[in-house]
Amino acid sequence: MKMTRSILLLVSIIILVLSMTGCVRSIPGSTSPQPTATLETLLPENLVSPGPTGVMDQIYLFATQTVMASGQGVSSPMTPGSQTTPAPETVPVTQTDATLPPEGSPVVSLESPAVPVEPTNPTPAPVVIVVPPATPGLPSSYTLQHGEFPYCIARRYNVNPVELMRMNGLTTYSIIYAGMSLLIPQTGSQFPGERALLAHPATYVVRAGDTIYSISCTFGDVSPDSIVFANPGLTAPYSLTPGQVINIP
C-alpha cells in the first residue's frame, strides 16, 4: 500500500514538472529561445546534478526524500517498482541454560542418601557369662560321673595328676567307672601344663552321648556346675539332646 502511494506521488510530481516546462514562453526582447523540456531531459541521468542547484534537482530530491520517509527504498524515479529492503536488525540472543537453578537458590544434591546395609550373616557377639566364683579350697574327695576320668579331675581342680593317681592307687591300666570316689591331693602341687583344652566362653553343639560332665572335661578347666549356671534351661538330671546348643562360660 505504501509503495503504491509512493509511485502515485512520483507520477504526480513528474506530471507537474512537465506542465510547468510546457508553459515556458520566450522573454520579450530576448533573441535566445528558452529551453524546452523534453523526455530526454527528464531522464534520471539528466536530472541529477552534482548538487541541488536546479529546480528539477530540488523536485527530484524532494520526491526521493518523501518516498524514503514513507519507508520505501527507490533506485530511480523512472522505475517505480524497484525497492531496496533493509536488512533485518540482528539482535544478539543470550542462550540461558534452563537446567541451571537461579542464582542464590539452594543447591540440592541429586545423589541418593546413603542407606545402611545390614550384613547378611552378622557375626554373633561373644557370649559373656558371669559365673560366681568357686568355693575357696579343694574338696577332699570327688565322685566320678559318666564321661569323667582322673586326668579331667586333676585339670578341673588344678592338682598334680601323678599325685592324684598315686593317692588313689591307680595306674594307666586301672578300670575307671562312674560312681568311683577319688581322693583329692591337698599338697598344693598344681597341674603341669595348660589346663584349658578349648577356648571359652563359647557355644557348644551337643553330640550323641554328651553329658554336662563329659563336655566339662572336653574344655578342661570348666566345671559342670558353671555349665548348669550358664544355661538356666538345664535342670537335673541335666539331660541333653543331640543338636542342642549350650553356653560354655
β-strand pairing of 141-143 with 245-248: unpaired
Topology adopted by domain 141-248: Membrane-bound Lytic Murein Transglycosylase D; Chain A (3.10.350)
Q: pLDDT tier at 12 (50, 70, 90 boundaries)?
A: confident
Radius of gyration of the chain (CA): 65
| Residue in this structure with the C-alpha cell 599338697, named with its chain if needed | 187
For residue 223 the three cell numbers come to 566345671
Taking the C-alpha atoms of residue 77 and residue 42, their distance in angstroms, rounded to an integer, is 10
Taking the C-alpha atoms of residue 162 and residue 171, their distance in angstroms, rounded to an integer, is 9
Residue 165 contacts residue 182 (beta carbons within 8 Å): no
In three-state secondary structure terms, 167 is helix
| pTM to 2 decimal places | 0.48
Phi, psi of 203 (to 5 degrees): -115, 155
Taking the C-alpha atoms of residue 232 and residue 124, their distance in angstroms, rounded to an integer, is 20
Answer whether residue 146 shows pLDDT above 60.
Answer: yes
DSSP-derived letter for residue 220 is S
For 113-134, how does the pLDDT look when each residue is reduced to its tens digit (9 = 90+)?
A: 555 565 566 565 655 555 555 5
Q: Which part of the chain is CATH 3.10.350.10?
A: 141-248
